[in-house]
Structure 1
Amino acid sequence: MTDRLAHRLVRIILAIATAGVVLGGCNPMNATPISEINASPANFDGKEVVLHGVVKAPTRLPLLNLKSYVLKDDSGEIDILTEGDLPKVDEKISVRVKVANIAIINGEPLGTTVTEIARH
């Protein structure tokens, strides 16, 4: 095998591997079930997770500069805050979110928020 052919083969393999890593982050199989967050939000406090589902009920409150939508998967649904454009109703998306609680008292979370970091 010539050096030129070997270099070309290496570039092709690297391109395929890079595409696999990028697309792997969008895989619904890597997503956390929404029911797990709803059942134990204190366990997810301060953590980033990937969710996958269908968009329902986008809401915009301009006076408060607040935008949110409901994401529904086979296990449940959850409200997600966003600073970006609202997704379309019935759109299937994967989204990386950060879960936060205002407080955790005796193991019980108070004021759980789920904020969008990135959408795929």
Structure 2
Amino acid sequence: MTKRLATIVLAAATIVVLLGGCDRINATPISEINMSPANFDGKEIMLHGTVKEPTRLPLLNMKSYVLKDDSGEIAILTEGDLPRMNEEINVKVKVANIAIINGEPLGTTVTEVERR
């Protein structure tokens, strides 16, 4: 009975570890967004990277941080608490453009939807 319980616990732990890394595997490289923001307009995507430059502008009630991965970096707006500098995070974001004229995006913003 103890051997069976140990096997079940080990299997459950393995599944948790494997699923925990799924966001990183499914993350979109930041360079893809930077190269073609119009392709991501209105879409929610997963990003994975390291936090740089957390910034709070109290007069404008605005918070942002830069997320950096191996392919590049991108500024992310957030309404939540700012992540810590050099923290490695997974974040679901929504990409939006003010306008797309002749395939060229104007005013691209990346807004945090959920952080893990």
In the aligned structure 1, how far is the partner of 2:97 from the partner of 2:18? 31
Provide Cα deviations, 1:30-76, integer angstroms capped at 9, x if missing partner: 11000000000000000011000000001000111100000000000
The alignment status of 1:23 with 2:11, answered yes or no, reads: no
Structure 1 match to 2:112: 116
In the aligned structure 2, how far is the partner of 1:50 from the partner of 1:80? 12
Question: Of 81, 87, 98, which aligns to 2:83?
Answer: 87
Aligned length: 110
Q: How big is the shift at 1:25?
A: 4.5
Residue aligned with 2:55, SS: strand
Provide Cα deviations, 1:90-115, integer angstroms capped at 9, x if missing partner: 10001000000000000000000000
Question: Of 53, 58, 63, which aligns to 1:57?
Answer: 53
Question: Of 77, 92, 95, which aligns to 1:96?
Answer: 92
In the aligned structure 1, how far is the partner of 2:45 from the partner of 2:109? 13
In the aligned structure 2, how far is the partner of 1:31 from the partner of 1:94? 8
The alignment status of 1:71 with 2:67, answered yes or no, reads: yes
In the aligned structure 2, how far is the partner of 1:49 from the partner of 1:23? 17
Q: How big is the shift at 1:87?
A: 0.5
Q: Structure 1: which 5+ runs fail to align?
A: 1-8
TM-score, normalising length from structure 1? 0.81
Query: 2:103 is aligned with what amino acid?
Result: G
Q: Structure 2: which 5+ runs fail to align?
A: none
Identity percentage over the alignment? 74
In the aligned structure 1, how far is the partner of 2:72 from the partner of 2:103? 22
In the aligned structure 2, how far is the partner of 1:19 from the partner of 1:73? 24
In the aligned structure 1, how far is the partner of 2:114 from the partner of 2:22? 11
Structure 1 residues 70 and 44: CA distance shift in structure 2, 3 A: same
Q: How big is the shift at 1:29?
A: 1.6
Query: 2:62 is aligned with what amino acid?
Result: L
